A and B are shown apart, each in its own frame.
Chain A
Amino acid sequence: MQIGKEKLLWMFEKMHEIRIYEETMAAAYMEGKLPPEIQKGLAFDIGGGPVPGEMHLAAGQEPVAVGVCAHLNDDDTVVGTHRPHHFAIAKGVPLDRMTAEMFGKVTGLGKGKGGHMHLFDNAHKFSCSGIVGASMPIACGAALAAKKMGKNWVSVAFFGEGAANQGSFHESMNLAAMWKLPVIFVCEDNQWAISVPKSKATSVEWVTDRAVGYGMPGIRVEDNDALKVFDAVAPAIARARHGEGPSLIEIKTDRYFGHFQGDPETYRPKDEVTRLRLNDPIPGLAKLLHDQNYMTDAQETQLVKKARDAVSHAFDFARMSAYPAATDALQDVFVTSPLTYRISA
Chain B
Amino acid sequence: MNTNRILTMAQAISEAMAQEMTRNPDVFVMGEDIGSYGGIFGATGGLLDKFGKDRVMDTPISETAFIGAATGAAAAGLRPIVELMFVDFFGVCMDQIYNHLAKNTYMSGGHVKLPVVLTTAIGGGYSDAAQHSQCLYATFAHMPGLKIVVPSNAYDAKGLMIQAIRDDNPVMFMYHKGIMGLPWMSYLTGSSNAVPEDIYTIEFGQAKVMKEGRDLTIVSISQMAQKALLAANELAEQGIHAEVIDLRTLVPMDTESVLKSVRKTGRLLIADEDYLGFGLTGEISALIAENLDSVHLKAPIKRMAVPNVPIPYSRPLEQFVIPQVQNLVTAARALMGGRVMSKAAA
Contacts and interface: CB of A to CB of B under 8 A. Distances in A.
Given A115-B127, A130-B132, A105 B184 contact: no
A323 to B, nearest CB: 5
A166 B58 contact: no
B62 A166 contact: yes
Contacts of B317: 104, 112-113, 324, 326, 328-329
Interface string B100-137: 00000000000000000000000001111111100000
B61 A165 contact: yes
Contacts, number: 152
A333 B184 CA distance: 31
9 contacts: A113-B130, A118-B313, A130-B131, A166-B61, A194-B37, A201-B59, A266-B36, A328-B317, A330-B309
B131 A117 contact: yes
A53 B129 contact: yes
Contacts of A266: 36-37
Q: How large is the interface on B (under 10, 10 to 19, 20 to 34, 35 or more residues)?
A: 35 or more
Interface string A38-52: 110111111110001
B239 interface: no
B58 A46 contact: no
B131 A165 contact: no
Interface residues of A, number: 54
B62 A167 contact: yes
A43 B186 contact: no
B61 A193 contact: yes
A114 B129 contact: yes
A327 B33 CA distance: 37
B316 A52 contact: no
A42 B186 contact: yes
Nearest to A82: B131
A195 B127 contact: no
A333 B308 contact: yes
Nearest to A113: B312
B321 A47 contact: no
B37 A201 contact: no
A329 B320 contact: yes
A262 B61 CA distance: 21
Given A53-B126, A117-B131, A165 B62 contact: yes
